[in-house]
Homo-oligomer: A and B are copies of this chain.
Amino acid sequence: MTPQTVRVELAAAGGCDRSYDIRVGQGILAEIGPQLAAHKVTRAVVIADAAVVAQHARIALESLHAAGLDTLVLEVASGEGSKAAGEAARLWGDLAEAAVDRKTHIVAVGGGVVGDLAGFVAATYVRGLAVWQVPTTLVAQVDSAIGGKTGINLPAGKNLVGCFWQPRGVFSDINSLATLPKREYLSGLAEVVKYGVIRDESFFAWLEEHRQAVAAADPAALHHIILTSSRHKAEVVSQDEHETSGLRAILNYGHTFAHAFESASGYGRFLHGEAVSLGMVAAARLACRLGRIDSELVDRQNRLLAELGLPTDVDSVARELATDELLAIMRRDKKAVSGQLRFVLPTRLGHVELVDGISAADVAAVLETTGLEATG
């Protein structure tokens, strides 16, 4: 499979074209040095997840060195705990220590945690450094590395602090996924299934048909799902970069529930994608309860998630967590307005809508169901 490029089209600002390319393929990590050199960059700070420093970050570094760039590596401990204000402050201090100037570019190598954290640090250091995203997990390649959302968590909730800060480019090297623990890989598939549910019925059907190759991380299947997911994400971001028209919100299908599950269970019990899978199950149930879809679609979605090894048993999760607390967290969600509950809900396979003014009673009912609709 030849490497391919997906363009994220963005409106120019201050006379500068901010559009950028996502490169998808095997071995494209080695392109990063020549690419930055072509942008006349002479110094790069690689912010890397500790788990990938010895492997993927080293490939990026060697490519940068070979292209003549001066480099520095800053390591970030693996795990959601690093996406915190204290860690941002440590990195700001490290950049100051290294006398980093406005012409230095940041290269973020790792999963969603490093991409979001390094993106936020880049967005805010000396009022903005250029950043390149090098996602090394599936969830980052298909979702978080694309679109310019950066941020950190607060104890009160995920991603409550952050900026929109678009990268200069994204390098999604399929080879990076070979070292990914199975559980992390599978969790990334939740966002992939999501694109099928929200925008692409035929992609959903393709995933059903190729579920074994997808679950086994077959390279050809990977190439197809990363490329297709990147195209969907890029199209949505191009049309609603700052989440102002409401379109971009469709990407949050399943996420309002997911954030509540993650927050109430204390971050760490679920991988993000696992929480998204459970959130999609809950959201589909809610849509069904409100008469927007029938139970066949709920079952079809949940069956694919389960076949891909993703958790779908919302009932056991909901039994452990207090419904009141989940509702309180959802009211604090960034998409919430004046404490009103809003959800992205399907109307049919391949189409969703942002629905306002959903009653707490309906949400609670979905979380307190006895499990008749659950498939997991």
Contact = CB atoms under 8 A, between A and B. Distances in A.
Contact of A85 (B13, B85, B95, B337): B85
A210 interface: no
A11 B11 contact: no
A96 B157 contact: yes
Given A99-B332, A241-B14, A125 B160 contact: yes
Nearest to A85: B89
B11 A103 contact: no
Interface residues of A, number: 47
Contacts of A293: none
A272 interface: no
Interface stretch (A147-155, A174-182, A301-309): A147-155
Given A101-B338, A103-B338, A164-B128, A332 B96 contact: yes
Nearest to A148: B127
Looking at chain A's contact residues, the main secondary structure is mixed
Given A157-B96, A332-B96, A128 B163 contact: yes
A110 to B, nearest CB: 21
Interface string A236-260: 0000011110000000000000000
Interface of A: 11, 13-14, 16, 42-43, 85, 88-89, 92-93, 95-97, 99, 101-103, 120, 123-128, 149, 151, 154-157, 160-164, 241-244, 331-332, 334, 336-339
Shortest beta-carbon contacts, A-B, top 6: A96-B156, A85-B89, A126-B334, A127-B162, A124-B161, A99-B332
